[in-house]
Amino acid sequence: MKMDPAKTKKKRKRSKEAAERHRLKYLEILKRRAKGRQESKTDSRNDATNSHNSALKPVKICRYYYRNGSCVHGESCSFSHTCIPLKSKDLKLCQFYIKMPSECKYTAAECKYSHEPRLFLCRSNVLHGICPNEGKCQFNHIPEDNIKVLDDTEKLKFCYNNKSFLANLLVKYLKDHSLLNTEISNYKTELDLICKAYDKIKDHGSIPWYLEYIFMILEKDLITSANT
């Protein structure tokens, strides 16, 4: 039986059309696969970059946890709790002992504060880069380059142990820059005025880091006093 030439021609035409549709569909699948692989690579690179950046970016220490050993936000806190709280004797110098060892009625083991000045940075060394008593000074001295890269824990430790001095230095700074016109005889009783004056600073990045940190400490004192 002979095939009808017209039908054969038509069948071949349909076969070619089907093959072309199949080819185009396959090319579309290949494009989607290639796109998916590219997006996957991009996401992987982004994840790796983000992970790398996160590892490089320093995480600030939670000053509430650092000061009190606890934080109401717990594990959900956006700041780091990877530090030894200030309540640890290694982070707070005994002010009685530093004036004169006999002033502290406790032994080094009994006192809840440290009797080891060498664990604490010299104020003059940190603020001015030099210490006139370096040969005899009982505090720790570090190179200027190391001072510039102190982490949050060391900065807070330094500021807590020099709180009164730095608080008065902050008051002087605010007065010198015409941000505080009121006479402050005792910073502890004028925390509200100091905080309001500090908020007038337009560029907080222009002030020395130790004034920024001592302000954070004073601000916390103000909040604590308001809640008691």
pLDDT at 51: 46
218 and 194 in contact (C-beta within 8 Å)? yes
d(CA 71, CA 63): 9
Whether residue 223 lies inside any domain: the answer is yes
Per-residue model confidence as pLDDT tens digits over 3-54: 565 555 555 555 566 656 656 655 565 566 556 555 555 554 555 444 444 4
Whether residue 15 lies inside any domain: the answer is no
Whether residue 205 lies inside any domain: the answer is yes
Which of 86, 105, 131 is the C-terminal boundary of a domain? 86
Whether residue 109 lies inside any domain: the answer is no
- DSSP letters along 54-122, please? HHHSPPPB-HHHHHHS--TTGGG-SSB--S--TTSGGGSB-HHHHH-GGG-SS-TTT-SSB--GGGSB-
Per-residue model confidence as pLDDT tens digits over 95-115: 999 989 899 999 999 998 999
Tally of domains within the chain? 2
Whether residue 81 lies inside any domain: the answer is yes
* Phi, psi dihedral angles at 77 (to 5 degrees): -65, 135
pTM of the model: 0.62
* Angle ∠(199,205,206) on CA atoms, nearest 5: 90
Whether residue 121 lies inside any domain: the answer is no
Whether residue 173 lies inside any domain: the answer is yes
Domain span at residue 65 reads: 57-86
Per-residue model confidence as pLDDT tens digits over 74-100: 888 888 887 766 666 778 899 999 989
Per-residue model confidence as pLDDT tens digits over 167-217: 999 999 999 999 998 888 888 888 999 999 999 998 888 899 999 999 988
